[in-house]
Amino acid sequence: MPPNIGEQAPDFEAESTLGKIRLSDYKGKFVVLYFYPKSFTPGCTREIQRFSELYEEFKKLNAEVIGVSADSITTQKRFAEKYNAKFPVVADKEKKIIETYGVLNEKGTSAQRVTFIIDPEGKIIQILKNLKKAEEHADKALEIIKNKKS
């Protein structure tokens, strides 16, 4: 059963571009956990670029961004480096996190484009999906956190 708004976000441990991370490492911060289909594709490229552009603003709001796809750690490192992503980008080759969050695509090959916004207590406060543009995920997530902080 995928998690819903108001529920605790499932913890995970994973290999990322910044080494091993756990979601629970970020308790006390807002977390923008965004899933995307495939590194280096047009939509996913615009999305990581926008999250990178807004990253300092997220940090000012005590928020961390974590990107997740089924790509390998080698691919994730190249992707994060090319687009200057200072946040962890997770390699979920086995699709364990993708399945836990219920965002596996119909073919079972990759993640859908879905963003979970998690509050400092670890509860899911918003789930973004079906947005027209991939990069809107970053802007909407920032707006939601700003509204929660005010």
User: pLDDT by residue (tens digit) across 31-47?
Assistant: 999 999 999 999 999 99
List helix spans (H) across 20-135.
42-60, 73-82, 96-100
Model confidence at 135: pLDDT above 90: yes
Helix 136-149 and helix 42-60: axis angle, to 10°?
Answer: 20
Domain 13-149 - what CATH class?
alpha beta
pLDDT at position 119 is 97
Model confidence at 149: pLDDT above 80: no
How do the domains of the chain map onto residue ranges? Answer: 13-149
pLDDT at position 1 is 78
Percent residues over pLDDT 70 in the chain: 99
Q: How does the average pLDDT of the chain come out, rounded?
A: 96
In this prediction, residue 96 has a pLDDT band, given cuts at 50, 70 and 90, of very high
Q: Which of these is catalytic: 14, 21, 44, 97?
A: 44
Residue 128 near residue 35 (C-beta atoms within 8 A): no
* pLDDT, tens digit (0-9, with 9 covering 90-100), for 42-61: 999 999 999 999 999 999 99
* Sheet with 114-118, side-by-side order of all strands: 19-22, 13-16, 89-91, 63-69, 30-35, 114-118, 124-129
| Known active-site residue 91 | no
pLDDT at position 69 is 98
Average confidence (pLDDT) over 93-121:
97
